[in-house]
Amino acid sequence: MRIPDKYKPQGYFTRVNKEKTIRKGKGYQYRAIFAIWDGHKWHTQSNTKGLTTKGLADEWLDKKVKEFTAKGKDIMLNPETVKGFAEAHYKPFLRDHKKIQYEYEFQKLDVVYEFLGDKLIDEVNKLDVLAFKTWLLKRPYKRGKGEKTRSEASANRYLSRLRGLLNFAEEVGKRKNHISFKNIVAKENPKQAYISFEEFMRVLDKCYEVPKCNRWKRDRSHMRLTLIGGYTTGLRIDELRNVTRGMLRTDDAKRIGVIKLVMNDSRNKIHTKTVDISTWLYDEMEAAGVFERDDDEKVFNTTNYYNLIKDLFRRAGVSDDVTFHTLRAANATERDTAGQDRESIHAGLGWAKDSNVPEKHYLRHQDYHIVEKGSSYNERLQRLRQLHSERTAEEGRHVERGSS
């Protein structure tokens, strides 16, 4: 946005822009823009905060002008505002130390700026945090072509990023007081969705069906290896996306091996991980020609995986609550049922050996798991595959006898 030079002498500029139509109320959403001239360039602040009327936008701007008049230009341009501190110090810290997948976290900080960006980092208090949470839960966001409101779990992610920002400011001496987020961040309810082995095999069968109205006239068989990779290794989709041929170490005689995963960036701070390749996954890799690929070639196909896999789950009759991430829970639960030690399960999931996250969020035992614990995980997979093949063959014979 270009601001006319005539506003430079007064030192600030205000404007209210009409953003979009609110369909239900047939009104408009407005964005209030406030800019300060520092003698060299304009520093722009903007806010919606539920400004659905021009009157609310004008009210916000009036407050900014009064604050500008009372505090003066130097304080208003203080780099130790929430936004200024985060841009100058917190974002570089996250990026340089690779604490997280920082690009995603920067998007959360942008939302924090919208509500708290112009407030001094040392003046943020618990009431501000509570108000931010209330605003988050009411503020719609885009998902596809529609709009949704955030759940408590979604709001928690933004609150956690704000907590990290405030704690960092406290560590480096920019905040005097500590804010406890107790009773602000809601307790998570562990997910219960699960996909059984039989359901998973139904999903694999659906990979070979050509969906109706499919203009490309092709099946989803290229997703089979990715699905089996997620189910048998417990790797997340972003981890599978990074696996290359050079990361595979296999024993071709025993038809097993390991994936030595190395990632430049990882959501949970684990940049290296070693997980086992079961005989089933080895067979699928061999059938897909993975072992003939160059070391830098990808192993798993994750292109447009979300829509493709949700479609496969739906056509296989799997619960709508099941996602690709549920395969990770299924992997942990099946391994625990097979008698694998908890420490190695934690290592495969990417958690510390004394962490309670796997028990709380990933081990989702069904009744049949309780009575089936015992045999090794690989033997269990082989046995289940054999039983499935025999059952399918028997069903085929019944169909033939019935038709004759």
**Structure confidence at residue 388 (pLDDT):** 94
Q: What is the pLDDT of residues 66-76, one digit of tens each?
A: 888 887 776 66
Is 184 inside a domain boundary? no
Q: Are residues 364 and 222 in the same domain?
A: yes
Q: Shortest CA distance to 130 belongs to which of 177, 180, 174?
A: 180
Is 183 inside a domain boundary? no
Q: Are residues 107 and 142 in the same domain?
A: yes
**Structure confidence at residue 64 (pLDDT):** 85
**Structure confidence at residue 217 (pLDDT):** 67
Q: Are residues 274 and 381 in the same domain?
A: yes
Q: Are residues 234 and 251 in the same domain?
A: yes
Q: At 378, list the tokens.
A: 């690989």
Q: Which helix (H) or strand (E) holds 360?
A: none
Q: Are residues 90 and 232 in the same domain?
A: no
Is 392 inside a domain boundary? yes
Is 190 inside a domain boundary? no
Is 189 inside a domain boundary? no
Is 12 inside a domain boundary? yes
Look up the domain containing 57 and give its range: 5-73
Is the predicted pLDDT of residue 265 greater than 80, yes or no?
no
Q: Are residues 93 and 228 in the same domain?
A: no
Q: In angstroms, rounded to a whole number, what is the distance separating the alpha carbons of residues 207 and 198?
A: 15
pLDDT average, residue stretch 374-396:
84
Q: Which helix (H) or strand (E) holds 276?
A: strand 272-277
> What percent of the chain is predicted at pLDDT more than 90?
34
Look at residue 193 and give its three-state secondary structure: coil
**120 close to 81: Cβ distance less than 8 angstroms:** yes
Its pTM surpasses 0.75: no
DSSP string, 32-64: EEEEEE-SSSEEEEEE-TT--SHHHHHHHHHHH
Q: In angstroms, rounded to a whole number, what is the distance separating the alpha carbons of residues 197 and 219?
A: 22
CATH of residue 291: 1.10.443.10
pLDDT average, residue stretch 168-193:
85
Look at residue 247 and give its three-state secondary structure: helix
Looking at 73, 98, 129, the residue that finishes a domain is: 73
For residue 356, the number of C-alpha atoms closer than 13 Å in the C-beta half-sphere is 2
Least confident of 86-100, 109-123, 188-202, 219-233: 86-100
Number of structural domains (the chain) is: 3
Q: Are residues 257 and 367 in the same domain?
A: yes
**Structure confidence at residue 342 (pLDDT):** 86
Q: Which residue has the tokens 């030690």?
A: 341
Looking at 40, 73, 106, the residue that finishes a domain is: 73
**Structure confidence at residue 28 (pLDDT):** 73
**Structure confidence at residue 153 (pLDDT):** 78
Is the predicted pLDDT of residue 26 greater than 70, yes or no?
no
**Structure confidence at residue 71 (pLDDT):** 73
**Structure confidence at residue 387 (pLDDT):** 94
Q: Are residues 124 and 25 in the same domain?
A: no
**Structure confidence at residue 199 (pLDDT):** 95
Q: At 22, list the tokens.
A: 């609110």
pLDDT tier at 169, thresholds 50, 70, 90: very high
Q: Are residues 306 and 387 in the same domain?
A: yes
Looking at 171, 187, 209, the residue that finishes a domain is: 171
CA distance to 117, 242, 261, 263, 326, per residue, from 273 (Å):
38, 12, 5, 9, 20
Q: Are residues 134 and 214 in the same domain?
A: no
Is 178 inside a domain boundary? no
Look at residue 316 and give its three-state secondary structure: coil
Is 57 inside a domain boundary? yes
Which residues partner with 260 through β-bridges?
A: 274
pLDDT average, residue stretch 351-357:
74
Mean pLDDT of the chain: 84
Q: Are residues 159 and 278 in the same domain?
A: no
Q: Are residues 252 and 383 in the same domain?
A: yes
Q: Which helix (H) or strand (E) holds 395?
A: helix 377-403
Q: At 230, list the tokens.
A: 């997620």
**261 close to 235: Cβ distance less than 8 angstroms:** yes
